[in-house]
Amino acid sequence: MTMIFLLLFLFPLGAAASESRPYPGDMEFTLMDYQQAEARYDSALTVSADSAKLLWRLARLYVVRGNVAEGDAKEPLFRIAGEYARRCVRADSTVAAGHTWLAAALGNIAMFEGSKAKVRLSTEIKKELDLAIALDGTDDVAYSIMGSFYLALGNVSWVERQLASIFLGSLPDGGYEESEIALRRAITLAPNVIRHRHEIGLLYIAEGRRQEAREAFAVVSKLPSVLGSDTGMKTHAAEWVKELEK
């Protein structure tokens, strides 16, 4: 049975709009020196073990590292990200980024789980995204993940939904329409983030909207890379542009 979450969550910086002070490790993260960023965050965490603002940064770091890792190295990094995100939520459940990055970690963890766990995680992911957006309506990362989430749901057939409901538990409602709303919101909030444009291009492909997909992917190729994973998305987008021009 084909299930949801054939996704990779590839993200921008994701700092909450209310945070103006950089933390130790932020500069290294921006420079894509993830090893040094981890060292700086870990060092700061020894001083303040319950700092929600450091914990979500570590969750973000491990999600990003997982996305650029190869093969079997991915799963343990995503699981570490989930642990940091849960620690963040326990430390301060009002920090939107904790919920955002927990959803990101769980989405990636789901790819390594069986069908029943995928369905269970889908409900938890949706709950965490709803909380993140309720706490911070300017969180473009949460909207981008939400868009990917609904895109995955849109790719689940009616038959698959019925089978999931009977044997595994019900999937959340939603699909392509909700995906577009969320991704357009993410683009409005952060128009130069590669992931948002890349994901809406994939949505247009799924819907057969070839011209709009080509335009979205063409924009991706012109945007600057800010994460290690952006290079792969730019390459993928360029391939789609060539394919859609045929």
pLDDT of 155: 60
Buried-state track 125-141, b at ≥16 Cβ within 10 A, e below 16? bbebbebbbebbeebbb
What's the token pair of residue 217?
Answer: 């992917």
Q: What are phi and psi of 113, to 5 degrees?
A: -105, 165
Q: What is the pLDDT of residue 78?
A: 97
Contacts of 46 (CB under 8 A, 6+ apart): none
CB neighbours of residue 180 within 10 Å: 19
Q: How far is CA 74 from CA 33, 63, 66, 80, 129, in A?
A: 18, 9, 5, 10, 22
Q: How far apart are CA 220 and CA 21, in angstroms?
A: 29
Class of CATH domain 26-177:
mainly alpha
Place of tokens 């391939």: 239
Sort 94 into a burial class: Cβ within 10 Å, 0-12 / 13-18 / 19+: exposed
What is the reported pLDDT for 48? Answer: 83
Contact yes or no for 69/40 (Cβ under 8 A): no
pLDDT by residue for the chain (246 residues), tens only, comes to: 333 333 333 334 454 444 556 788 999 999 999 999 999 999 998 888 889 999 999 999 999 999 999 999 999 999 999 999 999 999 999 999 999 999 999 999 988 887 778 878 888 999 999 999 999 999 999 999 999 999 988 765 443 454 455 444 556 676 899 999 999 999 999 999 999 999 999 999 999 999 999 999 999 989 999 888 899 999 999 999 999 987
The CA distance from 227 to 230, in Å, is: 5
Distance CA 236, CA 209 (A): 17
pTM of the model: 0.86
What letter would DSSP give residue 112? T
**Per-residue CA distances from 207 to 109, 177, 191 (Å):** 27, 10, 22
Q: What is the pLDDT of residue 19?
A: 55
Contacts of 31 by beta carbon, 8 Å cutoff, 6+ apart: none
